Amino acid sequence: MRRRTVALVTGVLTAGSMIMAGPAQAHDAGGWHPKPPPLATPWTHEVGPDNALPEYPRPQLARDQWQNLNGVWQYAAATSDQPPIGQDLAERILVPYPPESGLSGIQRHDDAMYYRRTFTVPGSWHGERVLLNFGAVDQVATVWVNGKQVATHAGGYAAFSADITDALRGHGPQELIVGAVDRNQNGDFPIGKQRTTGDGGILYQGSSGIWQTVWLEPVPETHVSTLDITPAADGTFTITARATGDAPVEVVARTPHGATAGTATGRTNTALKVKIRDAHWWSPGDPYLYTFSVTAGQDKVTSYAGLRTISLVRDDAGRPRMALNGKILFQYGPLDQGFWPDGLYTAPTDEALRYDIAETKALGYNMIRKHTKVEPDRWYYWADRLGMLVWQDMPALPIDLAIPPEQTPEPNAAQQVNYRAGLDELIAQHRSVTSIVSWVPFNEGWGEFATAEIADHVKSLDPTRLVNADSGVNCCYSKPDSGAGDIYDDHTYVGPGTPAVRDDRAIVDGEYGGLGLVVDGHLWPGNPHAYEMEDTKAQLTTRYGELSSKLEDLAANGALSAAVYTQTTDVENEVNGLLTYDRKVVKFDATAIRADNLRVIAAGSAT
């Protein structure tokens, strides 16, 4: 988008939750209190120590036994590089909500911070290895168990794990401390649109420290660490159980009704082919998912995936078009930034996470562009399950929008190293997600460097998806078009843009729209703005229809393969959302814009 670290602590912190696909145990609030967010969502009041994202967080590599560590932790701004081993911290925070959020109970930014709690390992886990898992910690994390450093991780968007077995001591409480450093735009890591404070424009309040679920699970010595699942046009899945050692593997694929659809046997760390009988293809209109039971030695995990392909084909006029499962399908959806007024980067509940996707679907769209943010795994689970195509952006490196494009320097060496590492993690950790059909390394030139090389690298890591090298290559901070990737992406506001076929790449409107409406009582503090303001719901709906008519013609006659409307919700002072920032009001006539959207998709899918 353009600019317009086991010492004993108090008992209230020792509660964990032994989960066998059930709800979390209650945590004593222990001095935690939420702080009022500038806007509350319909789910704000549901959040508490006994309901801090209790769902199993990793649906594509699931185990029956696990212990959720979300809930009330001790917290303090860091004043020393030495972890507070055996020391009580003064404040209480609700994990996994970032400290800047109201739901956390802290509601401020600290450049460096410590979290502390205790946990108890269930006796039934005796003889197993114990893994400590983090969905994401922003930006640099160090982890100690019983005073022993067990993990470090740099980058704010990727999951990481540590085998903490050798750090555990006997029975009873074990001390866990997490230190995090997050300098936001003053650091050298991808941050997307996060800033220490929002700018009132298109940059928003950042999220530091732990912002996704933390959990424990028991595993055998040799266990699956990653499960790569890739569908193919011949109705097969290629499945690789990447593991900590060699073991025999058995894979059983089943239909949603439980019937066996295919099997394969082999070894860990080796690709297996699972041929699906009577293959049923996944699409937005029919999001059919197979489940997988994978046994690797003594380890048992479950997963799921859909059969689908994404490619470029030629239409009747010989023009390049995007195709799903070999058939041209116009991809149409909103720019989705994934911010929440109560939880910031972290949705208040799993139902809230689902809601945005379900509402987008109900409005007739078939695609979401996940904009310069990476979501928790359950967001992609809901996209897979509900049937929503996803364009996945790589979060951008810091950029100063007060500096003109021609004076903006390339990212420094450390930033480039961190970007490449984060990009590789993004693809490695999401390659099995059915709904993701396109990788977007850069947006409007923000932090752009070595564009063609990066695009080629992404394609080499994942040749099964399309690569959109630089969304908005025609504007803003973008370098001249490199010609790389599979897509030429135009940004025009209010648009829609009219890119022309220029080579073998599909053409898309990667951003357009941005129509605004102020809805009193549902506004973030500050001055609301949009690319074009409308006065009433009716006027907003009519104007959307006018843009849709132009888009329909481009889809039918101009070889346009996709379009992205700005945006799913208002975000802070941007009021150009389909929904208000608190998710309480649909700002358009939903029936009318659903009809508009379905006409556009039909027009662009007919040639």
Q: With 90 as the cut, is the pLDDT of residue 21 above it? A: no
How much is the mean pLDDT over the chain? Answer: 94
Is residue 243 situated within a structural domain? yes
Is residue 303 situated within a structural domain? no
52 lies in the same domain as 135? yes
Q: Which CATH number goes with the domain that contains 173?
A: 2.60.120.260
Q: With 90 as the cut, is the pLDDT of residue 3 above it? A: no
Q: What is the mean pLDDT of residues 403-419?
A: 97
The pLDDT, as a whole number, for residue 216 is 98
- Asked if residues 334 and 365 have their Cβ atoms less than 8 Å apart, the reply is yes
- Asked if residues 587 and 580 have their Cβ atoms less than 8 Å apart, the reply is yes
468 lies in the same domain as 337? yes
Tokens describing residue 20: 């066998």
Q: What percent of the chain shows pLDDT beyond 70?
A: 95
**Secondary structure in 3-state letters for 331-369:** EEEEEECCCECCCECCCCCHHHHHHHHHHHHHCCCCEEE
Task: Work out the end-to-end distance of the chain between its first and last CA atoms, rounded to an integer number of angstroms.
Answer: 30
Is residue 284 situated within a structural domain? yes
260 lies in the same domain as 140? no
213 lies in the same domain as 263? no
Q: Which CATH number goes with the domain that contains 282?
A: 2.60.40.10
- Number of domains making up the chain: 3
The pLDDT, as a whole number, for residue 170 is 87
CA distance readout (Å), 341 to 34, 204, 354, 474, 526: 13, 10, 16, 32, 14
In whole angstroms, give the CA distance from residue 30 to residue 18. 20
In whole angstroms, give the CA distance from residue 606 to residue 328. 8
Tokens describing residue 545: 């229809």
Q: What is the mean pLDDT of residues 454-470?
A: 98
**Secondary structure in 3-state letters for 59-87:** CCCECCCEEECCEEEEEEECCCCCCCCCC
CB within 8 Å of 543: residues ≥ 6 apart:
515, 532, 534
* Domain end (from 246, 275, 297): 297
- Asked if residues 4 and 531 have their Cβ atoms less than 8 Å apart, the reply is yes
Q: What is the mean pLDDT of residues 452-464?
A: 98
* Domain end (from 219, 251, 274): 219
7 pLDDT band (50/70/90 cuts)? very low
The pLDDT, as a whole number, for residue 461 is 98
**Secondary structure in 3-state letters for 172-233:** CCEEEEEEEECCHHHCCCCCCCEECCCCCCCCEECCCEECCCEEEEEECCCCEEEEEEEECC
The pLDDT, as a whole number, for residue 11 is 27
Q: What is the mean pLDDT of residues 188-200?
A: 96
Is residue 432 situated within a structural domain? yes
Single-letter amino acid code for the residue at 381: Y
Is residue 604 situated within a structural domain? no
| pLDDT one-digit tens code per residue, 348-386 | 999 999 999 999 999 999 999 999 999 999 999 999 999
- Asked if residues 576 and 544 have their Cβ atoms less than 8 Å apart, the reply is no
Q: What percent of the chain shows pLDDT beyond 90?
A: 94
| pLDDT one-digit tens code per residue, 536-592 | 999 999 999 999 999 999 999 999 999 999 999 999 999 999 999 999 999 999 999
268-162-25 Cα angle (round to 5): 105
Q: Which CATH number goes with the domain that contains 321?
A: 3.20.20.80
The pLDDT, as a whole number, for residue 1 is 61
171 pLDDT band (50/70/90 cuts)? confident
420 lies in the same domain as 568? yes
Query: 80: burial class by Cβ within 10 Å (0-12, 13-18, 19+)?
Result: exposed
User: What number of residues does the chain have?
Assistant: 607
Q: With 80 as the cut, is the pLDDT of residue 437 above it? A: yes
Single-letter amino acid code for the residue at 99: P
274 lies in the same domain as 212? no
The pLDDT, as a whole number, for residue 12 is 26
| pLDDT one-digit tens code per residue, 243-276 | 999 999 999 999 999 999 999 999 999 999 999 9
The pLDDT, as a whole number, for residue 443 is 98
* Domain end (from 272, 297, 322): 297
Is residue 315 situated within a structural domain? yes
Is residue 383 situated within a structural domain? yes
- Asked if residues 31 and 330 have their Cβ atoms less than 8 Å apart, the reply is no
Q: With 50 as the cut, is the pLDDT of residue 10 above it? A: no
277 lies in the same domain as 355? no
| Residue 5 or residue 308, greater confidence | 308
- Asked if residues 323 and 311 have their Cβ atoms less than 8 Å apart, the reply is yes
48 lies in the same domain as 105? yes
213 lies in the same domain as 345? no
143 DSSP β-pair partners: 151, 178
467 DSSP β-pair partners: 439
Q: With 50 as the cut, is the pLDDT of residue 310 above it? A: yes
280 pLDDT band (50/70/90 cuts)? very high
69 lies in the same domain as 209? yes
Q: Which domain holds residue 257?
A: 224-297
26 pLDDT band (50/70/90 cuts)? very low
Q: With 80 as the cut, is the pLDDT of residue 147 above it? A: yes
Q: With 60 as the cut, is the pLDDT of residue 2 above it? A: no
215 lies in the same domain as 348? no
Tokens describing residue 514: 């941005």
584 lies in the same domain as 435? yes
Is residue 304 situated within a structural domain? no
| pLDDT one-digit tens code per residue, 103-128 | 999 999 999 999 999 999 999 999 99
CB within 8 Å of 518: residues ≥ 6 apart:
528, 533, 575
DSSP, collapsed to helix, strand or coil, labels residue 474 as coil
Q: With 60 as the cut, is the pLDDT of residue 20 above it? A: no
